Structure 1
């Protein structure tokens, strides 16, 4: 009897691991370096070493990818804000988030890049908004001298404006070598002063 030829191992399909995460990470690198306009699914596929169609499996298109980046960013922001001890700390954490996640921050607040009706995005955005509103609600409106909705707008405007100016290097002169978070605390104390 002739022995059977050795069996070839079954070919295994190519498996990248967590391709979705790899594409998101590569996208964040591109956005941080060159902005969202430089983003291309074909380039991201090349960076990940997969076919040009592979990213579309997870994100459908460029808008889907940017929407996923924004949803992830709002989720991270909500988690950051939920740990705040008070309104000023919420603002400091907002500024810290922007500094730690500049690519997310840039995409999150550019609605023209995103699918506004995406469920993951709307849920994460709502969580972040609830965390900010919770911090404002913890301060009695008469202490702020504003109605709670306007106090929320004022707090968000201060934190968002400061973070945006900081990321754009517009505050390099005024802030200098000072810790930006401490500068923000001082500004918030000036603007949201509690008169006794």
Structure 2
């Protein structure tokens, strides 16, 4: 008799959680459905029922990440706050963040992913619109690119520990709050 449970409960969530742990420590390249099944205590074929394959799993992680990011950005009060929320999201969800912006790992045409991406893009655009209302001459497309580039670059450098020597004891969120003022003095 096997000591593995016949029913797992929420296998999809268990596989996602295990995958996020692996990605956080070993990166997406360390991910194996067989290993995740072993960690969840199920047969090696069980994860395929939820994700079909490794790409499907990574796509689900990216979609979940974009949904979480959209939620984080939805409460932004201005550009600085949107940037801080973006970086906070990256710090709190580093595995999602790694996968979300690696299109070579994902199914670009996945409906859940495209919907979640649209939600996070809209949340970012809405935060820009708070600061630069339509009709004030601001090119919101370029503003969105600038804000996203600043926040994403800062988050990437921070997660890679590339800012450790530059930040010292300063709170990364406070440093980021000051950066948009250099680009957008009216922000």
> Which stretches of structure 1, 4 residues or longer, exceed 6 Å deviation after superposition?
141-145
Q: Distance in 1 between matches of 2:65 and 2:46?
A: 23
Q: How does the TM-score come out when normalised to structure 2?
A: 0.93
Structure 2 gaps of 5+ residues are: none
| Counterpart in the other structure of 2:154 | 162
Is 1:14 equivalent to 2:6 in the alignment? yes
Question: Which residue number corresponds to residue 152 of structure 1?
Answer: 144
Which residue pairs with 1:181 in the alignment? 173
Aligned residues: 183
Match of 1:52 in 2: 44
Contact 1:144 1:194 in 2 (8 A): no
Q: Is the 8 A contact 2:74 2:123 kept in 1?
A: yes
Structure 1: gaps of 5 or more residues: 1-12
Q: Which residue number in structure 1 is paired with residue 20 of structure 2?
A: 28
The alpha-carbon distance between structure 1 residues 141 and 83, as it changes in their structure 2 partners (threshold 3 A), is closer
Q: Does 1:93 align with 2:85?
A: yes
In structure 2, the partner of 1:65 is 57
- The root-mean-square deviation of aligned C-alpha atoms, in Å, is 1.8
Q: Deviation of residue 140 (structure 1)?
A: 2.5
Larger Rg over CA atoms: 1
CA shift in 2, pair 1:171/1:145, >3 Å: farther
Distance 2:183 2:134 in 1: 14
Aligned position for 1:9: none
Cα distance in 2 between the residues matched to 1:87 and 1:152 = 10
The range that moved more, 127-136 or 139-148, is 139-148
Residue matched to 1:3: none
Alpha-carbon distance, 1:146 to partner: 4.5
From 98, 120, 124, the counterpart of 1:106 = 98
Indicate conservation of the 8 Å contact 2:132/2:138, yes or no.
no
C-alpha contact (below 8 Å) 1:143/1:194 kept by paired residues: no
